[in-house]
Amino acid sequence: MTDLVTPLMNNEEWAYRQFVKEYGKRIYNICFYIFHDRSEAEDTTQEVFISVFQSIHSFRGDAHFSTWVHRLTLNKCNEKLRFKNRKKRKGAMVLIENQVDLASQDISPEGLLIKNEEIAILFDAIRGLSENQHIAYTLHNMQEMSYVEIAENMNLSVSAVESLIFRAKQNLRKILQEKLHAGDGNLKENTRKIYNKQQTNNDE
């Protein structure tokens, strides 16, 4: 909220705590969906906090404070995507609280494993997109931002965002199709489910 700006500029401790409370999960979710890695998302979230606190005096009010924060978040993620070689981490896919609440659903352990495999397949496919397609698709489909909001956050025109998301869907379909031909057994079946969902999204 913009009423946090002045207190943050004045280095008021309560404002720092309130900012983390209001924006922490939002920043983390963006980072997680871009990196698909819990540890990387946590580290980047902390770096974004520092960037916000250090550069708060550069906020001029030309855009909403939330948009400014999102831009800082995306800039930090872009830096890491461009310059840091990240290793794929092994282990189970970690789902973000309040994003996919599987625990509240009546899903068997086998069903939970299948659901996690489907998510892992989709995330792996998203990694194959170009940087801007990756970010635009993530913000639209996983953060549920409108084209206008994405345009503001990425500093692009709405038509450019529409084009990025359209191409991202087309490329995801191609990537998943390749995985479908290469897979076997459960992996092939789960890939087929994701592919069919993406095909439906392309037709919408």
Scan for tokens 């299948």, then name that residue: 114
pLDDT at 117: 63
Kindly list the structural domains of the chain, giving each domain's residue range(s) and its CATH number in brackets, ordered by start: 2-83 (1.10.1740.10), 106-203 (1.10.10.10)
> In the numeric block, which tokens belong to residue 145?
């931002």
In 3-state terms, what secondary structure has residue 172? Answer: helix
Scan for tokens 């609440």, then name that residue: 101
pLDDT at 100: 39
| 90 to 36, 39, 55, 114: CA distances (angstroms) | 12, 12, 35, 17
Give me the chain's average pLDDT, please.
76
Split at pLDDT 50, 70, 90, the class of 127 is confident
Mean pLDDT, rounded, for 137-149: 86
- In our burial notation (b when 16+ CB lie closer than 10 A, e otherwise), range 136-163 reads bbbbbbbbebebebbbbbbebeeebbbe
Q: What is the dihedral of CA 17, 20, 21, 25, to 10 degrees?
A: -170
Residue 22 pLDDT greater than 60, yes or no: yes
Residue 193 pLDDT greater than 70, yes or no: no
Say which residue, 171 or 124, is predicted with more confidence: 171
Least confident piece of the model among 67-71, 88-92, 130-134: 88-92
pLDDT at 106: 45
- In our burial notation (b when 16+ CB lie closer than 10 A, e otherwise), range 5-31 reads bebbeeeeeebbebbbeebeeebbbbb
pLDDT at 141: 82
User: Degrees (nearest 5) of the Cα angle 70, 137, 30?
Assistant: 35
Amino acid at residue number 179: K
Percentage of the residues of the chain whose pLDDT score is greater than 70: 69
pLDDT for 26-60, tens place per residue? 999 888 888 878 899 999 999 999 999 999 999 98
pLDDT for 156-186, tens place per residue? 999 999 999 999 988 988 888 887 766 555 5
- pTM value > 0.85: no
pLDDT at 77: 87
